[in-house]
Structure 1
């Protein structure tokens, strides 16, 4: 197996949809910018074509940031699976703690950076991540997300 650094250019050239188990139009992240074993940086841009865009504000309400953060976590899990030649596992957002919204919306024609850092991931698939969304070095929203990842889809969906 090649090192993460050796695989990084290949991974960063792929569309986010290869690592996030969603289909269009629910893949919200536009691009994976960087990652390592326990963290990931991604970007998304807001436009009138963006999912959850509201013309009356014009933008996306900041509470949707939880989903951007969750998709960044899913992208890191997808990259981990790719690195060991495994399929992407099913993941669930279990809860959000300490959600802080520093502005009401993500503004039209702006690009935002999602940063996630794993706090822990145990053998059962339970994990916690420290997450933030920033723009121009200013935090727009932050939260700790609790997640669950499993490869046994039949147990959960029956």
Structure 2
């Protein structure tokens, strides 16, 4: 079932702030999948001094798409977005070395599983108008109680 995400600005859906918000908008979100957009520009935090955005930065776009997925679901329940952790990726398959600047990217994250203990995995894709650029399986962890987890006192 599609969720109504239109009432929130992207900054209200992510536990990020300022220049670290790389996403532009949510295009679609339902119980298992999200599609977001990003338009990388020169001068932003992850573009290097030569004006290049390496494709390995795509993992951060994917992680933010997953965080946005969680944020939409939290907001729909009347709660604030929670902090989560990127645990890693398997088979980060990039068809490009760099992302083009000033061109929209569509980042999708399809939930593969999400356990009650906070562990999850998502199949993510980054596409542009030419097609698939990057695909990866991303493993994440959202602790049920962040403060308890950070203090090392979880049971």
TM over 0.5: same fold? yes
- The residue that corresponds to 1:66 in the other structure is 59
Count the aligned residue pairs: 151
Whether 1:83 aligns to 2:76 is yes
Q: TM-score, normalised by structure 2?
A: 0.91
Cα deviation for residue 48 of structure 1 reads 1.1
8 A contact 1:48–1:108 mirrored in 2:
yes
SS of 2:16's equivalent? Answer: coil
Higher strand share goes to which structure?
A: 1
User: Which of 27, 32, 38 is matched with 2:26 structurally?
Assistant: 32
**Could you give the per-residue CA deviations for residues 63-115 of structure 1, whole angstroms, max 9, x where no partner exists?**
00000000000001011111111222221111111101110111122111001
What is the CA–CA distance in structure 2 between the aligned matches of 1:68 and 1:12, rounded to whole Å?
20
**Could you give the per-residue CA deviations for residues 94-142 of structure 1, whole angstroms, max 9, x where no partner exists?**
1111101110111122111001100000111110000010011511111
Cα deviation for residue 17 of structure 1 reads 1.1
- The residue that corresponds to 2:14 in the other structure is 20
Structure 2: gaps of 5 or more residues: none
RMSD between superposed Cα atoms in Å: 1.5
Q: TM-score, normalised by structure 1?
A: 0.89
